[in-house]
Amino acid sequence: MGYRGLGLLYSMQNNFPIVVLLSGRGSNFRALTQRLSDAHICAVISDRTEAPGLEFAREQGIKTFAFARQDFPTKIAQKEAIYSAVDSFKSKLIVLAGFMQIIEAPFVERNLGRILNIHPSLLPRHPGLHTHERALEAKDEEHGCTVHFVDAGVDTGPVVAQAATKIAPGESAEALAGRVLALEHDIYPWAVSHIARGEISISGREVSYSVRCRAEADGHGFRIGREACPQAAGSNGA
């Protein structure tokens, strides 16, 4: 049996199916396919038919679905189609990997604690777009990325983990973006795998970690709990 066959067999044995939503290049999705453990990606869903991440998913033999805006009379009709497709997989976790759409509150509410996002800043600093440029403009000493559960706000959900890096003197936004993206590729599969193993869990807005998970986070240099986001209500201490 080849490597792909073994991977397929393994993925059928673990019972933590996840659905990935993406809009573009899909490098975080690619990192998930390479580094995830104890979870398997059952589908990749996009709001853009031409998203390069979809092509990579097809090459990996993962089911893909695209719902382009022009195929629907309204934006909300497009989003409802995306949500129906996500629901149809009854996945344990919905993983946003560069999905550049606001998720409507009713979908969030019926999936509370089951939607995960990665954002390229150390939240609560720099929610929204152009985070690398804004970190430089603000003369931040450090920058990084945040894995968080999604709530009804924009980049306001309970923080799971952060990876930080010092901003180098004179660093360009492109160079900083590249360094942060490499951190994203480490921390996102790590976080999803630990959620799949039950070593990271959420109750209300409170994120909890197993002792082993805390030690591992420390070893990787990831910030979790209050260390990650002191202002976040309900994050329990690391």
Q: Which of 19, 20, 28, 78 binds ligand GAR (CB under 6 A)?
A: 28
* Candidate ranges 34-42, 118-126, 163-171, 225-233; the one touching ligand GAR (CB under 6 A): 118-126
Which residues are within 8 A (CB) of 159 and not within 5 positions of it... i.e. 6 or more apart? Answer: 123, 146, 147, 148, 207, 228, 229, 232, 235
Concatenate the DSSP letters of all residues of 165-234 into one string.
EEPPTT--HHHHHHHHHHHHHHHHHHHHHHHHTTSEEEETTEEEE-HHHHHHHHHHT-EEHHHH-TT-TT
Would you name the residues annotated as active-site residues?
119
Location of structure tokens 């397929």 = 8
Q: What is the helix, strand, coil percentage profile of the chain, to 5? A: 40, 20, 40
- Nearest approach, Cβ of 119 to ligand GAR (angstroms)? 5
Residues 174-203 that bind ligand GAR (CB under 6 A): 181, 184
Position 120 contacts ligand GAR (CB under 6 A): yes
* Candidate ranges 26-34, 38-46, 63-71, 85-93; the one touching ligand GAR (CB under 6 A): 26-34
* Candidate ranges 17-25, 32-40, 133-141, 206-214; the one touching ligand GAR (CB under 6 A): 17-25
Q: For residue 201, with 0-12 CB atoms within 10 Å meaning exposed, 13-18 middle and 19 or more buried, which class applies?
A: middle
Position 173 contacts ligand GAR (CB under 6 A): no
User: Measured between alpha carbons, how far is residue 139 from residues 107, 116, 123, 132, 167 in Å?
Assistant: 37, 29, 16, 11, 9
- Nearest approach, Cβ of 40 to ligand GAR (angstroms)? 19
The smaller minimum CB distance to ligand GAR, of residues 98 and 225, is found at: 98
Position 97 contacts ligand GAR (CB under 6 A): yes
Strand partners, 166: 142
* Candidate ranges 71-79, 114-122, 168-176, 226-234; the one touching ligand GAR (CB under 6 A): 114-122
Position 24 contacts ligand GAR (CB under 6 A): yes
Position 118 contacts ligand GAR (CB under 6 A): yes
Q: Which residue is nearest to ligand GAR (CB)?
A: 98
CA–CA separation, 148 and 234 (whole Å): 13
Where does this chain bind ligand GAR (CB under 6 A)?
22, 24-28, 53, 97-98, 118-120, 181, 184
